[in-house]
Amino acid sequence: MSSIRPYRPADLDDVYDICLRTGDSGADATGKFSRDTLLADIYAAPYVRHDPSLAWVVDDGRRAIGYIIATDDTRAFTRWFREQWWPALADQYAPAPNEKPGERELIASAARPERMLNDDVDAYPAHLHIDLLPETQGQGVGRQLVETLVAELRRRGVAGLQLTAGAANAGAIAFYERVGFDVLHRDEGGVTFGMAL
């Protein structure tokens, strides 16, 4: 039986694995880029490093098989990512001889964390990432993870929470609508959702 618990540093390898195995619009992204660590180094690991108190995992009794991670202040997180997180990693993501399509653009986006500062950042200052391995989906734990995060953000007095789902990730888009997020913007790249807290 799976349970939700706070993230622990020992979960970091599992977080990398989950991010990779769900990183292609919910499908496995293994081999999609020349380095399988790239997605997690941008979209998962910095969150558990910056504020591990806003990270929870789904534990199946052996390992983490899903997570929700967040920041309660996207502006502060963006500064930290630009000044501390990415500079420590950027050299290892110098152009690789076996670079895959889209990899250079993804790395360039990491060097521009201001991309997170959309027009809604002040009304919805928190943002999240949630990823569940296939065996975790459909059991209600995704909703429980969102509810856990929302309760903590409300306790902290955060005004709102947002996220963006890629246009190709139809399952995620449907999930966010079911758990109470409203569509803020929609374009060819994806859908930005918000929840007032």
Q: What angle do CA 177, 182, 188 make, to 5 degrees?
A: 85
State yes or no: pLDDT of 96 exceeds 80.
no
What is the extent of the structural domain holding 70? 3-196
Q: Strand ranges (DSSP E) for 20-168?
A: 55-59, 64-71, 126-132, 160-166
Average pLDDT, the chain: 95
pLDDT of residue 182: 97
CATH number at residue 92: 3.40.630.30
Stated pTM of the model: 0.94
State yes or no: pLDDT of 76 exceeds 80.
yes
- Encode pLDDT of 14-24 as tens digits: 999 999 999 99
State yes or no: pLDDT of 101 exceeds 90.
no
pLDDT of residue 98: 80
CA distances, 90 to each of 32, 87, 112, 189 (Å): 19, 5, 12, 25
Give the position of tokens 């930290």: 80
Number of independent structural domains in the chain:
1
pLDDT of residue 181: 97
